[in-house]
Amino acid sequence: MFKIVNSGDGAVGKTSFLKRFTSGVFVEQSQSTIGTGFFTKSVKLENLDHADLTIWDFGGQGRFRDILRDFIIGAYGALLLFDITRYQSFSNLREWITLLRSKEEDYELPILLLGTKCDLADVREVFPEDIDKFVEDNNLIGYFETSSKTGINIEESVKFLVQYIFNHNKGITQHRSVY
């Protein structure tokens, strides 16, 4: 069982992403998330039976960001979401990265970047050149474009993050393969 955090500005689609990931449905009428909540799901991985995930979902509003600092304690990785149709949600990413990496541990938290709402790519405001550069400049582990509406890359992206965590954290792999 391990913990992942789900971060990014308000309304980028964090809660819709987790609902789609855990229950396979897109809930059209969403409510803005107050504080935090969490979702759990078991995923199948390459060298392993399964991994039990607890994914913490954050309210994106500024006043909840102080909470984030506490809740990232014990996290093995983070999903960082922006909305490809809203440039502002992309320009705020740096601030999120600073928060995610503010904990005092040797382990640099692996962060996977997700561009949400790719079903709306015809009204895109954020383009691949900028995204690629951002991923590289900030040492993120990768990038996926997702849509909770169509389901594209939802499961794939979470599995990518979890596989990365297992491949780079021998402690977990050994523990898991022994027991």
Q: What angle separates helix 154-168 from helix 14-23, to the nearest 10 degrees?
A: 90
Under rule CB under 6 A, residue 7 binds ligand G3D: no
C-alpha triplet 80, 87, 137: angle, nearest 5° = 55
Of these, 16, 89, 153, 157, which contacts ligand G3D (CB under 6 A)? 16
* 116 contact, one of ligand G3D, Mg ion, none, CB 5-8 Å limit per kind: ligand G3D
* Region of residue 120 (left: phi > 0; alpha: psi -120 to 50; beta: else): alpha
Asked whether the beta carbons of 55 and 8 are under 8 A apart, the reply is no
Task: Among 56, 114, 126, 147, indicate the residue that binds ligand G3D (CB under 6 A).
Answer: 147
Q: Which does 117 bind (CB under 5 to 8 A by kind): Mg ion, ligand G3D, none?
A: ligand G3D
Residues that bind ligand G3D (CB under 6 A): 10-16, 28-30, 32-33, 60, 116-117, 119-120, 147-149
